[in-house]
Every structure is written in structure tokens, then in C-alpha cells.
Structure 1
Amino acid sequence: MDGKDTRRDYARELADANVPEHLRGWLSDWGVGALVVKLGIVFEELTAERSVATMPVVGNTQVAGVLHGGASAALAETLGSFAATLHAGEGRIAMGVDLNATHHRPATSGLVRGVCTALQLGRNVTSHEIVISDSDGRRVCTARITNLLRDL
């Protein structure tokens, strides 16, 4: 090591993911995560009670040319985990303990949009429902995530 600070500067990553300004300090040491960047997830809204993000279908497909179910699950887990961590507060983190997803129809182009809504915001456990829709507003996937809240 040459004595330089080796922490990565996540400012560009946070801006590209459209993380709200008031949350960028919170994420300045971690960014949004490599998978969020690879999947092209862009946030529209980010609170403990409701989080919204989009993700392109292109680049996130499986061999048949439709949105990969794992990409839908990753979008759902991203939204639910970010929302749960915001609820947990400073010095705490959310750890996913259960994720389930039901895939209703394929998405083949455009963007999908995930809307995450809190079902239960407890002191140690949260549950969120995530509805993922295609560009025409048709439901592609319904997911639910449960997060355990722990001190860092």
C-alpha cells in the first residue's frame, strides 16, 4: 500500500442509481452494490414504507429472451433490503432471511418497475411486498421479503 485512502468513491454510482441526495451520505462508504450496478437498477423513491425502482429487461434476460426470474428476485430483494435498512436506522443493518417470488408473465423489452410496500416494520423484523410490473403496467412478479434487523 502506498498510504493512499483505498476506499472507493461511490458518488458517481449513487448518482447513476438516482439515490436521493439525503441518503447519499448514508451509502457513501458502500455504494449501492455491484449487482445493482450490473442490473441497471435506478431508484425513483426510497423510504422505509415505500421504495420504487426500475430495471431494464435488456441485459437481464435468460436464454429464452425474457426477463430472468433471478433478476426480478434481485430487484425485489434490493428494494426490500434498502427499505428495511432505512427503517432499522443508523448503526443497524437489514439481513434478508426469506425471499419468495411468484412470476406471473414474461417481460421481453423496456423497463420493469418494482414497487415495494411495507407490510410490517418491527423493531427486529420487517416484511415488505414488492410488485414488479412491465412497461404496460402488467404484473410480472410478486415478491415478499422478510429482513432481520441487527446492529452493525
Structure 2
Amino acid sequence: MQISKEELLNQINAVNKNTLMETLGIEVVDYTDNTLTARMPVTPKVHQPDGVLHGGATAALAESVGSYAAHIFTDRDQFFVRGLEITANHLKAVKSGFVYAKATFLHKGRTTQLLDIRVTDDEDNLISICRLSTITLPKQK
């Protein structure tokens, strides 16, 4: 039985309890066959001391959305996904509102995946460009 988009988004967001994603306020808001989008509020909780979005929080958002994307397109009963490498180029500062991370598959292999993650603000300005590689590994029986 296939579940609805809304149900899957609710399931994804429900597992964020007591995790970094909950701490940062990350919420998955949309997906397609090749993309997944999440958002994160830009508040003092994710600021650098000078009042702008911390690059580490942006990288955590990017890794979260990319890992979720690889995860939901995997047989979760048999496999798990782990991040291998992430790069982040920060292009613009943000002080408030939301940032949105959209992960798009560049390679969707059985074992490795490569995702392009673009982080934008409320006005669709490009904030960061990230790349994430993940690996899919079999669960131990």
C-alpha cells in the first residue's frame, strides 16, 4: 500500500523528536521523484555571535535534507543511509525568516548517491550551494 505525500512528510517529521533536526527546527516540506525540500527558521538559535545564520547550521540543514532524500528512496526495511562527505559554499548572509534547502539527485545509485543542495531564503536568493555524497548499506540481520 502506497502512502500519501502528506503522510510521508508527517512520518519524516515525526522522527525528528529529540534530534538535531528538532533542535534546529528543521521541517521537511515537499518532495518529488528526484528532490526533497526542507526549511529551517533563522533565529538567534542558529546565529553566529554577530547575528547572521551560522554556516554549520546551514550545513546541518543540507546534510539533513540530502540524507532524508536518499533515505526515502531506499528500501528502509533492508538498508540504511549514511553521509560520506559534504561541502558547503556560503554566498549570502541571512538574519531572519526561513532558509529552504532543496536536495536534487545528481546520481541515484544502488550503493552511492550524490546530491546537489541549494539553500535559498524567503525571497529565493541563493544563500549556499552544498554537495552531499551518501552511502546505502545493508542492515544487519
Same fold (TM > 0.5): yes
Higher Rg:
1
Residues 1:150 and 2:128 are matched in the alignment = no
Output the TM-score relative to the length of structure 2.
0.85
Supply the AA of the counterpart residue of 1:113: Y
Give the structure 2 partner of residue 57 of structure 1.
Answer: 42
Match of 1:67 in 2: 53
State the alpha-carbon separation in 2 of the partners of residues 121 and 37 from structure 1: 27
Distance (Å, rounded) in 2 between the aligned partners of 1:23 and 1:140? 24
Shift of 1:46: 3.6
Structure 2 residue corresponding to 1:38, chosen from 4, 23, 33:
23
2: CA distance, partners of 1:39 / 1:136: 21
CA contact (8 A) 1:95 1:149 kept: yes
**2:7 paired residue number:** 21
The residue that corresponds to 1:139 in the other structure is 126
Query: Cα RMSD between the aligned structures?
Result: 2.0
Structure 1, residues 64-121: CA drift from partner, whole Å, max 9, x if none? 1000001100010001101111222222111111100000010111011111111100
Gap regions ≥5 residues in structure 2 = none
Asked whether the equivalents of residues 96 and 145 of structure 1 are also in contact (C-alpha less than 8 Å), the reply is yes
Aligned sequence identity (%)? 31
Q: How many residues align?
A: 132
Structure 1 letter corresponding to 2:74? A
The 3 A distance-change label for structure 1 pair 100 and 114 is: same
In structure 1, list runs of 5 or more residues that go unmatched.
Answer: 1-18
Query: Which structure 2 residues correspond to residues 80-99 of structure 1 after superposition, within 5 A?
Result: 80-90=66-76, 91-99=78-86
Distance in 2 between residues matched to 1:129 and 1:49, nearest whole Å? 11
